[in-house]
A and B are shown apart, each in its own frame.
Chain A
Amino acid sequence: EDQVTQSPEALRLQEGESSSLNCSYTVSGLRGLFWYRQDPGKGPEFLFTLYSAGEEKEKERLKATLTKKESFLHITAPKPEDSATYLCAVPAGANNLFFGTGTRLTVIP
């Protein structure tokens, strides 16, 4: 059975304090791993797709990496506007994403 586990559940950082979020997955035949950002009261916003171990993608202060068992979302010198819940997900069928429970990130000025 597909499993996606995210850690930590919540993370508080000082502005400028870099850190990483973890997404561990167990799937039979990875067909991509997706990262999303969700702000309160809004739908998830797509950030990245990773397809193969060793792949990396960057967007502003965020960098996503993928190994055969997990993905990391590295946040470099975060700002308060990076505060959000970060979700990872893997495909479980036709446009059916299996989501982790997310990491709630708070960046304190």
Chain B
Amino acid sequence: KAGVTQTPRYLIKTRGQQVTLSCSPISGHRSVSWYQQTPGQGLQFLFEYFSETQRNKGNFPGRFSGRQFSNSRSEMNVSTLELGDSALYLCASSASLNSPLHFGNGTRLTVT
């Protein structure tokens, strides 16, 4: 079974731009979660989608948004990028509520 796939692997953007990251979950997984990982804050929850509905949202500003498509694929968008948004963005999929999350290898975003 293919794992969680995230594209692109690396991104370099300039302050003020926006960015869209993509995630394809494990086949059959309908829940997709997004996390931000930084050296200072560790892994922090952004949001979770199930059947195209956002069920849960972390404590991030409205510049961070996401969506899920009918095939369970998900995208997250960050608008008006700030230097502090530089991080590894991880997507995870899950078969059901509170079953183990399976992570992709992330998108490394650098904002200059």
Contacts and interface: CB of A to CB of B under 8 A. Distances in A.
Does chain A bind chain B?
A: yes
Nearest to A51: B98
A44 B35 CA distance: 11
B100 A96 contact: no
A94 B103 CA distance: 16
Given A42-B106, A94-B48, 10 more contacts: A31-B98, A44-B43, A44-B103, A46-B101, A94-B50, A94-B98, A95-B98, A95-B101, A96-B33, A102-B42
Interface residues of B, number: 24
Contact of B100 (A43, A46, A93, A102): A46
Interface in A71-108: 87, 89, 91-102
A19 B57 CA distance: 37
15 contacts: A32-B98, A34-B101, A42-B106, A44-B43, A46-B103, A93-B56, A94-B56, A94-B97, A95-B56, A95-B94, A95-B101, A96-B48, A97-B45, A100-B42, A101-B42
Interface-central residue, A32, A87, A93, A102, by most chain B CB under 10 Å:
A93
B105 A41 contact: yes
A94 B97 CA distance: 6
B15 interface: no
B16 interface: no
Q: Name A's interface SS.
A: strand
Interface in A33-58: 34, 36, 41-46, 49
Contacts of A100: 42
Most buried by A among B45, B58, B105: B45
Contacts of A92: 45
A87 B44 CA distance: 13
Contacts of B106: 42-43
A43 B31 contact: no
Nearest to B42: A101
In this complex, the member of B43, B56, B58, B104 whose beta carbon has the largest number of chain A beta carbons within 10 angstroms is B43
B73 to A, nearest CB: 16
